[in-house]
C-alpha cells in the first residue's frame, strides 16, 4: 500500500490548493489542520489536530512517507500564540518524525525569516537569517531546528523561504517575490522526490525577472520554476516606481512586515481578543443588536472587509468570518474617511451593501472612525434591528470607544 504524504495546515489557502495535486502525484494524502478542512477527496484521510499536542501528532505522523509542514500561524501575531502554534507545533512534527523514522520533511519557512536584508542584495542558501517579525523569528527557528535534526539524526529537511504565493502578483514587490501555485507544487514535489540531500534552504519564488534570490546552491534538489511575474509588470508598474525609497516597506525584502513599529520602541502587537471586552461594554451601553470592529493591517492579514472583533446580542446573527469585499468604497465609509467623525444612520435607506439590510436585518447604523495619523484605518459600527434615532449620548459613547481603539493602534502599526 502506498504510504501517504502528511500535509499540515491543509485548511489554509495553499494547503487547500495543494491537496488534489499532492494526491494526483503521490497517491495518498493525510491532511490535517486545527481549522475544519471540509469533505475528504478520494484517497485522502482528514485528521483534525492541534500540532502542539504531541500525542495527536504522533498518531498523525505514524506511517507517513513524507511530511509537508505548512501548519502554524502564517502572519504576525502575539508571541504567546506563535510560541504555541509555530514553535511547539514545529518541534512536535520534527521530533515525532524522527522517532517514527519519517525521513523527509518539507517545511514552509518564509521570506520573513530574511526580511531585513535590504532590497538589492541577492541572497542564496547561505544568507544569514534576519527576521522582520515575531512570525519571521518563528520561521528562522524552524530552520535552525531543521538543521539540528539533519545534523544529529540524518534526516532530510528542506526549508522553503516562500515569497508571495498568490494566484497572480498583486503589487510591485510581488514582481520580485511572486511564487505561482503551480511553481509551489513543483518546488514541494521536487523536495519530496529528490535523492538524500540532508539540509536544504530554498527560496520559494517563480522564475521572475526581478528576483532577489538565488537557488543555484540548491540545484541538486531539481526545482525548475516555469512562471514569471514579468507578465504582469505592465499592469502593476506602468510607469516609474511611485514608492518612497526610504519607507521600510520598500527598503527591505520583507516589505510590509518591516514597517509596523519600525524604530518605534513602544510598538505593541495588538491581539484582536483584547477588543472583545470594550466592544461588549459598548454594545450594552448602546443596547445595539451588534457591534463590529473592522481594521486594516495588511501584514497581519486584517482587512476592513471582515470583522476583526464583534459582539452580538442574543439572537442576532454573527458576522464573524463573513467578508464584504469593497466595503471601503461605500458612500458611508467614504464620508467617514472625509469627515473623521461619527455618522448616525437612523433608518435603513442609506445602509450599504444591501446584504447588511437583507441578511443581517440592519435597520439603523452608527459608525465611528478609527484613525492613525489622521488616516482612516478602520471603524466601529453598531447595528440596530429597527429604525432608531441615535442619541447624542450614543454618538459620544461610540466615538469614545473608537478613540480607545485608535489609541491602542497608535503604537501598533
Among 137, 174, 229, 409, binds other proteins (CB under 8 A): 137
Confirm if 405 and 370 have CB atoms less than 8 A apart: yes
Among 12, 71, 72, 136, binds other proteins (CB under 8 A): 136
Catalytic residue set = 135
339 is a site residue for other proteins (CB under 8 A): no
Beta-strand pair 29-32/5-8: parallel
List of residues 6+ apart from 350 with CB closer than 8 A: 331, 332
Among 263, 314, 354, 373, binds other proteins (CB under 8 A): 263
Which of the 8 DSSP states describes residue 275? G
List of residues 6+ apart from 94 with CB closer than 8 A: 105, 145, 146, 149, 155, 157
How far is it, in rounded angstroms, from Cα 259 to Cα 184? Answer: 27
264 is a site residue for other proteins (CB under 8 A): yes
String marking each residue 173-202 x if it binds other proteins according to CB under 8 A:
------------------------------
Residue 17 or 148: which CB sits closer to other proteins? 148
131 is a site residue for other proteins (CB under 8 A): yes
255 is a site residue for other proteins (CB under 8 A): no
Question: Among 15-23, 59-67, 147-155, 294-302, which window interacts with other proteins (CB under 8 A)?
Answer: 147-155
107 is a site residue for other proteins (CB under 8 A): no
Closest CA to 276 of 405, 89, 137, 88: 405
How far is it, in rounded angstroms, from Cα 157 to Cα 22? Answer: 18
| Residue labelled with grid coordinates 485548511 | 11
How far is it, in rounded angstroms, from Cα 255 to Cα 295? Answer: 19
Among 45, 124, 144, 244, binds other proteins (CB under 8 A): 144
To other proteins, the closest distance from the beta carbon of 98 in angstroms equals 6
Confirm if 72 and 123 have CB atoms less than 8 A apart: no
Residue 28 or 84: which CB sits closer to other proteins? 84
To other proteins, the closest distance from the beta carbon of 309 in angstroms equals 22
Count CB atoms within 10 A of the CB of residue 359: 12
267 is a site residue for other proteins (CB under 8 A): yes
Confirm if 104 and 67 have CB atoms less than 8 A apart: yes
To other proteins, the closest distance from the beta carbon of 95 in angstroms equals 7
Q: Which of residues 71-100 bind other proteins (CB under 8 A)?
A: 79, 83, 87-88, 91, 95, 98-99
List of residues 6+ apart from 28 with CB closer than 8 A: 2, 3, 4, 5, 43, 44
Count CB atoms within 10 A of the CB of residue 1: 6
Among 42, 126, 196, 349, binds other proteins (CB under 8 A): 126
Question: Among 17-25, 152-160, 306-314, 333-341, which window interacts with other proteins (CB under 8 A)?
Answer: 152-160
Q: Which of residues 282-311 bind other proteins (CB under 8 A)?
A: none
Question: Among 148-156, 220-228, 238-246, 319-327, which window interacts with other proteins (CB under 8 A)?
Answer: 148-156
Ranges assigned E (strand) in 129-255: 156-162, 164-165, 178-179, 199-204
| Residue labelled with grid coordinates 501528532 | 57
Compute, in degrees rounded to 10, the torsion defined by CA atoms 45, 49, 52, 55: -70
To other proteins, the closest distance from the beta carbon of 7 in angstroms equals 23
In the chain, the N- to C-terminal Cα span, in Å, equals: 52
Among 234, 235, 266, 389, binds other proteins (CB under 8 A): 266
147 is a site residue for other proteins (CB under 8 A): yes
Chain residues that interact with other proteins, rule: CB under 8 A: 79, 83, 87-88, 91, 95, 98-99, 101, 116, 126, 128-134, 136-137, 140-141, 144-145, 147-148, 151-154, 258, 261-267
Amino acid at each position: 500500500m502506498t504510504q501517504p504524504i502528511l500535509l499540515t495546515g491543509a485548511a489554509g489557502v495553499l494547503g487547500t490548493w495543494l491537496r488534489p495535486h499532492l494526491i494526483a502525484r503521490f497517491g495518498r494524502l493525510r491532511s490535517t489542520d486545527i481549522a475544519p478542512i471540509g469533505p475528504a477527496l478520494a484517497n485522502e484521510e482528514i485528521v483534525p489536530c492541534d500540532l502542539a499536542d504531541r500525542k495527536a501528532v504522533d498518531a498523525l505522523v505514524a506511517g507517513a512517507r513524507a511530511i509537508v509542514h505548512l501548519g502554524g500561524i502564517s502572519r504576525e501575531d502575539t508571541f504567546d500564540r506563535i510560541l504555541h502554534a509555530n514553535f511547539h507545533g514545529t518541534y512536535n512534527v520534527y521530533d515525532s518524525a524522527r522517532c517514527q523514522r519519517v525521513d523527509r520533511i518539507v517545511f514552509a519557512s518564509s521570506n520573513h525569516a530574511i526580511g531585513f536584508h535590504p532590497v538589492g542584495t541577492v541572497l542564496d542558501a547561505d544568507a544569514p537569517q534576519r527576521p522582520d517579525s515575531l512570525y519571521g523569528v518563528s520561521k528562522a527557528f524552524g530552520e535552525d531546528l531543521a538543521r539540528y535534526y539533519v545534523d544529529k539524526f540524518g534526516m532530510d529537511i528542506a526549508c522553503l523561504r516562500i515569497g508571495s504565493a498568490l494566484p497572480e502578483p498583486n503589487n510591485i514587490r510581488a514582481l520580485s517575490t511572486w511564487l505561482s501555485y503551480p511553481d509551489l507544487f513543483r518546488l514541494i514535489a521536487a523536495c519530496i522526490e529528490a535523492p538524500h540531500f540532508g539540509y536544504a534552504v530554498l527560496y520559494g519564488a517563480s522564475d521572475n525577472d526581478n528576483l532577489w534570490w538565488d537557488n543555484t546552491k540548491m540545484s541538486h534538489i531539481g526545482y525548475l520554476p516555469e512562471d514569471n511575474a514579468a507578465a504582469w509588470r505592465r499592469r502593476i508598474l506602468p510607469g516609474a516606481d511611485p514608492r518612497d525609497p526610504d519607507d521600510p516597506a520598500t527598503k527591505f525584502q520583507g516589505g510590509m512586515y518591516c514597517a509596523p513599529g519600525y524604530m518605534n520602541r513602544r510598538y505593541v502587537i495588538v491581539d484582536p481578543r483584547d477588543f472583545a471586552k470594550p466592544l461588549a461594554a459598548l454594545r450594552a451601553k448602546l443596547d445595539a443588536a451588534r457591534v463590529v470592529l473592522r481594521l486594516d493591517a495588511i501584514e497581519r492579514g486584517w482587512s476592513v472587509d471582515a470583522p476583526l472583533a464583534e459582539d452580538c446580542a442574543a439572537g442576532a446573527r454573527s458576522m464573524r468570518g463573513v467578508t464584504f469585499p469593497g466595503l471601503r468604497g461605500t458612500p458611508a465609509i467614504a464620508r467617514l474617511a472625509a469627515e473623521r467623525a461619527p455618522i448616525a444612520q437612523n433608518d435603513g435607506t442609506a445602509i450599504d451593501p444591501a446584504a447588511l439590510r437583507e441578511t443581517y436585518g440592519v435597520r439603523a447604523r452608527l459608525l465611528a472612525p478609527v484613525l492613525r495619523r489622521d488616516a482612516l484605518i478602520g471603524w466601529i459600527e453598531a447595528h440596530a434591528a429597527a429604525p432608531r434615532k441615535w442619541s447624542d449620548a450614543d454618538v459620544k459613547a461610540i466615538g469614545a470607544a473608537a478613540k480607545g481603539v485608535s489609541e491602542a493602534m497608535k503604537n501598533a502599526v
